[in-house]
Amino acid sequence: MLRRRWAFIAVGVVIGLALAGAALQILPKQYASTTRVLVLPTPTADAQVANGRTSGDINLDTESQLVRSIDVATGAGKLLKTKVDSRTLLENVSVAIPANTQVLDVTYSASDPAKAQQGSHAFAQAYLDNRGNVSKATLAEQIKSQEGQVAELNKQLAAETSKQATLAENTPDRELAAARAKALTDQLSSLSLKLGVLKTTQVKPGRIISDADLPGGPSSPNTLILLAGGLMGGLMLGLCLALVRERTDRKVRRGADVERLLDVPLLTELPGRSLSSTSPSAVVEQGGRAGSGIARLRNTITADVGTHRRVLLVVGASDGAGSSFLATNLAASLARAGLKATLMAANLRDAGAGEGPRGTHRLGVSDFLMSHLSAQELTIASRDIPGLSVIGPGTQAALAADRLQTDKARELVADLLINANYLIVLASSTASSADAQTLAHLADGVIIVAEFDRTRKDELLDAGQQLERVGARVLGAVAVPRIGKGNRPARTTRPDPSGQGDAPTTAPAPRVAPTDGPYRPHPAEDTRRGAAAAATGHSRLADEEVPVLRRPASAEQGARPRPRES
């Protein structure tokens, strides 16, 4: 599927990249600047949270939240000297914590590089100022509390000392008062020591270790991410388009489609590139890929139906030159294998009878059906391929098409089998007429031809159903590339078996006297009588119901083909 639908995938990729490029142009550019702050423990720092994500004396998760607090944002706004609301400023701030450090990365985004740099520094400094102020305020409260306790102890100590002076020495009361005074003195000494420490403590909330730089380029939109996203999105879009096209495609694209739709063996599939511009009547070389495919088809058929006086019907599922090409090359391949083969062009509804070179007319199948000519008079032996004979559609194809239903067609088949091991009958496509149904009863086997990019799936199904209804023995199907250029080649040429040149297949047809009146030989019969090799053309004649013919009766000469061997 990918090889056949690469154009859809390419279109999807182009659309995705185009959208990514448009986004790069449309989306507003944002610049980001980062300030790195080393956070130091303070005398009043909160205790570490149990099972916290960070370790150490400082809970950096808490500190990162403080950076994005309203108090810090207010302080940053004062440093920036801006009237922007604190909450709006916070929308542009982000904080990251590098692993295993006591560092905060404070990033500020803005539409201007200078504003991004100033904003990052302002938030970092406002955080440090806020942290220092809070720590100093807490320390001052602790000092005040300690001083209050010291004053209270001094008061109690003075009272105990005064009481002790009024008591007699060596009395229990005096000793008790002395003990209480000593305890108060020890407490006072301890509190005084702590108070001294608090008064000499310096608050260091942290410092900026890497100040914000002026951004050299925008941080968003990210060109690499957008292009990568556009590429991936385009690929997905292209694959979806290709899948939809594959599901809705009505034409046959693969040999597997032919085998699946017809439920018959795919006898061979001919390569496409080497045959796409080939003439419908061209005979391929034996050593190429196409020649090997034809040879495999020949071997399969001879093994299936035998080699003694066999009739093979070749019919296309759609209008086109594929069936003509296959019939011509199959007959040539049989002849090259030492078997006598005759090619009978019975595609009268498709053929515009040929007018040969130098003004001569070629007589053929239609002339046999419309006159008293013999098959031997109309058959021409090929000079290039020994054992190959050809009888073309003749000069009255349009008039004689309906006579394929008569006994004359059966008589012609019997006459042609006298000197042939194989008679290859080329019929009009099942899409243009019901002639294939009529001729199927004269054949030992039928080969259905499907052309890639031309034959529709419904046409292929219809071909199989038409032949099944008349009990035809379908040997299998052959898939060929689209032969020639254009849907309906208006004019093609075919090799002249007489060696005089090529004959066009669309020349006007001269008249030949019908069989129901006095026969007058055509002037062309006095010259060279010839028949074309499997000509193809196209008509839009609607299908019609036709009577079923039986196989020709046995006769000593020109007898019916022998029954199929089991």
Q: What is the pLDDT of residues 164-190, one digit of tens each?
A: 777 777 778 788 888 888 888 888 888
Q: Which residues does residue 456 pair with via DSSP β-bridges, in sequence order?
A: 251
Residue 357 lies in a domain: yes
- The answer on 186 and 75 residing in a single domain is yes
What is the model's pLDDT at position 198?
Answer: 78
- The answer on 329 and 190 residing in a single domain is no
* CA–CA distances in Å: residue 77 to residues 120, 123, 205, 234, 443: 11, 8, 20, 44, 97
Q: What is the pTM of this model?
A: 0.54
Q: What is the pLDDT of residues 303-351, one digit of tens each?
A: 988 777 889 999 999 988 889 999 999 999 999 999 999 999 999 887 5
Q: What is the pLDDT of residues 469-527, one digit of tens each?
A: 999 999 999 998 888 654 343 333 344 444 333 333 333 333 333 333 333 333 333 33
- The answer on 360 and 282 residing in a single domain is yes
Helix (H) or strand (E) holding 94: strand 93-96
Domain boundary among 210, 229, 254: 210
- The answer on 497 and 357 residing in a single domain is yes
Instruction: Indicate the pairing of strand 445-451 with strand 310-316.
Output: parallel
- The answer on 435 and 342 residing in a single domain is yes
Tell which residue, 483, 477, 547, 432, has the closest CA to residue 313.
477
Domain boundary among 511, 526, 541: 526
Q: How far is CA 81 from the centre of its chain?
A: 57
- The answer on 347 and 199 residing in a single domain is no
Residue 15 lies in a domain: no
Using CA atoms, how far apart are residues 475 and 462, in angstroms rounded to an integer?
Answer: 17
Burial code (b: 16+ CB inside 10 Å, e: under 16) for 527-552 equals eebbbbbbbbbbbeeeeeebeebebb
- Phi and psi at 285, nearest 5°, equal -75, 150
How many separate domains does the chain show? 2
**Can you give the residue range of the structural domain that contains 155?**
53-106+118-210
DSSP of 436-473, one letter per residue?
HHHHHTT-SEEEEEEETTTSBHHHHHHHHHHHHHTT--
Residue 550 lies in a domain: no
- The answer on 452 and 338 residing in a single domain is yes
User: Cβ neighbours of residue 114 under 8 Å, at least 6 residues apart?
Assistant: 214
- Phi and psi at 39, nearest 5°, equal -95, 125
- The answer on 420 and 321 residing in a single domain is yes
Helix (H) or strand (E) holding 33: strand 31-39
Residue 6 lies in a domain: no
Residue 136 lies in a domain: yes
- The answer on 281 and 205 residing in a single domain is no
The encoded tokens of residue 40 equal: 């130091």
Residue 540 lies in a domain: no
Label residue 70 exposed, middle or buried (CB < 10 Å: 0-12, 13-18, 19+). Answer: exposed
- The answer on 277 and 192 residing in a single domain is no
- Inter-residue contact 174 to 168 (CB < 8 Å): yes
Residue-level pLDDT, tens digit, the chain, 566 residues = 566 667 878 888 899 889 888 888 888 888 999 999 999 988 776 555 455 555 557 888 999 999 999 999 999 999 999 888 999 999 999 999 998 889 999 999 998 999 999 999 999 999 999 998 988 888 888 888 888 888 888 888 888 788 777 777 777 878 888 888 888 888 888 888 888 877 887 888 899 999 999 988 888 887 888 889 888 988 898 888 878 876 777 788 778 888 888 889 999 988 866 666 677 778 888 878 888 889 999 999 999 887 778 899 999 999 888 899 999 999 999 999 999 999 999 998 875 433 333 333 488 999 999 988 888 888 999 888 999 999 999 888 888 888 888 889 999 999 999 989 999 999 999 998 889 998 998 999 999 999 888 888 899 999 999 999 999 999 999 998 888 654 343 333 344 444 333 333 333 333 333 333 333 333 333 333 333 333 333 332 223 332 232 333 333 333 333 333 33
